Structure 1
Amino acid sequence: MLTYPKNTSVNKRKCSLHNCGTIDYQTAWIWQKSLQKERTIDPERADALVILEHPPVYTLGTDASLDFVKFDHLQTEYELYRVERGGEVTYHCPGQIIVYPILNLRYYKQDLHWYLRQLEEVVLRVLVLNNLAGERIDGLTGVWLEGRKVAAIGIKVSRWVTMHGFALNVCPDLSGFDRIVPCGIADRSVGSMAEFIPNINPILVRKQIIEVFSEVFGLEMSDGREDLSSSLDRA
């Protein structure tokens, strides 16, 4: 029987870091599924952390309602995907940093609520590093700044290996959110870090995310050896 030693500050789990540029949604989605599949087959394989941005795209969770999409999804110029994560419709675009952790939760804690709170904790600590006071809202997933949602979270877990993750609005054009009811929450607006820090540096925020993610999950990061194209070939 395979045992899973718990991840601790003494026994850090290795994680392959893929700090990428802008990748189209479908390509990144296939890549994620490949990374997840490899780790369900081989549970001892190092975890992976993918950080990137997407061109403008809308995504719907598995059970998301089209009632929250304000444009005609059958005749549209906008890219729209229904994927296997939880949650309602959201929007991705440049200036929004996307974080896709591929973690085997057997090495951490087999509790999805715990995992969601840990992802929120990563965002909250990054905001603190930028002198911003983020907050959680009871009954809702994500992170808010002065009542505006700056980070959306949606995950999928298969045999305790995660995919999808969170999107942090650093300095995006928020107008794309006007075409949907973001996350199905009609009475709360979407915001960004740039509204509070006009000259915010997205490269610095990426660095902070990597450092904080390593701290929160107790990881030892290494440069990703798994090339995107080779991973897609194996998908």
Structure 2
Amino acid sequence: MNKCIVHRLGLVSYRQAWNWQQQLVKERIRSGVSPAPLDVCLMLQHPAVYTLGRGASWDNVKFDPSKESGFELIKVDRGGEVTHHAPGQLVVYPILNLTRDPFKKDLHWYLRQVEQVVIDTLQAFDIAGERVDGLTGVWVPDNRYPFPKSKIAAVGTHASKWITMHGFALNVTTDLSGFNRIVPCGLHDKAVSSIQEFHPNVSMADVEEVVIKSMEKVFEIEMQQTTNPPYLE
């Protein structure tokens, strides 16, 4: 069974985490397939920030970052539209080499696996997470909003030489008001939700533990935990 080092890092700036991902991917590209470094997963939270994926529309940003300096907005190389990160949101960045068994060199397969990790995690908290045809991410039925479903996790990825980066952001205890400054993922007819709205006393540590177990099951890997930042040569 492949091993994956999961770094449980707490609060980390978006730019720092993005830089770590880029360096980790470069190391793995340089090393080739064999011998290759272990797969890595960064598990963390970000201070409040907004990110725009490739091809994202500025029409979905409701504030002017040039006039409101308190709201950082970063254009990044993942797929997807604009989204929001903030404390209380669990962000997971798997750096996986998809050329290795039992993975597949197929980004559509990979995205569905990532979604399954979230769905299995939510199931552990008795929340019915589901996919929506034609959309990426994980959704929950929620009659507390005037919409049939609310998005609880955003998914976006990028791969170089079949080595993945970026990943998913699961709202756990997130202050959801930050999403009011954008059209989340470019979807005007959907709201956002969090695990806390179903389980007010949920803890981030509990969710992290369940995510780790879910990743082990879905990706058939052994997760080795550390609280140290990734070592970069």
How far did 1:221 drift?
Answer: 1.8
**Partners of 2:119 and 2:130 within 8 A in 1:** yes
Q: Which amino acid aligns with 1:54?
A: H
Given candidates 43, 51, 58, the residue that maps to 1:59 is 51
Alignment of 1:47-196 (within 5 A): 47-77=39-69, 78-107=71-100, 108-146=103-141, 147-196=149-198
Q: 1:52 to 1:191 in 2, by over 3 A?
A: same
2:9 aligned residue:
20
Q: What's the TM-score once normalised by structure 1's chain length?
A: 0.91
- Report the equivalent of 1:40: 29
Letter of the 2:93 counterpart: Y
The structure 1 segments of at least 4 consecutive aligned residues displaced by more than 4 Å after TM superposition are none
| Identity rate, percent | 51
What amino acid sits opposite 1:149 in the alignment?
K
Q: 8 Å contact 2:172–2:196 — kept in the other structure?
A: yes
SS at match of 2:192: coil
Structure 2 contact 65–72 (Cα < 8 Å) conserved? no
- Segments of structure 1 that go 5 or more residues without pairing to the other structure are 1-11
- Matched residues in 1 for 2:229 and 2:91: separation? 18
CA distance in 1 between counterparts of 2:44 and 2:51 reads 16
Task: Please give the secondary structure, in 2, of the residue aligned with 1:199.
Answer: coil
Report how far residue 225 of structure 1 moved. Answer: 9.2
Distance change (3 Å), C-alpha of 1:225 and 1:144: closer
What letter corresponds to residue 210 of structure 1 in structure 2? I
Question: How many residues are treated as equivalent by the alignment?
Answer: 220
> Matches of 1:217 and 1:195 in 2, distance apart?
28
Cα distance 1:19–1:226, how it changes in 2: closer, same or farther (>3 A)?
closer
> Does the aligned pair in 2 maintain the 1:104–1:160 contact within 8 Å?
yes
SS at match of 1:105: coil
Aligned equivalent of 1:220, options 216, 222, 227: 222
1:31 maps to amino acid: W
CA displacement, residues 123-152 of structure 1 (integer Å, 9 cap, x when unaligned): 000011111111110000000111100000
Shift of 1:214: 1.0
Q: What SS does the aligned partner of 1:81 have?
A: strand
Between the aligned partners of 2:159 and 2:219, the Cα distance in structure 1 is 17
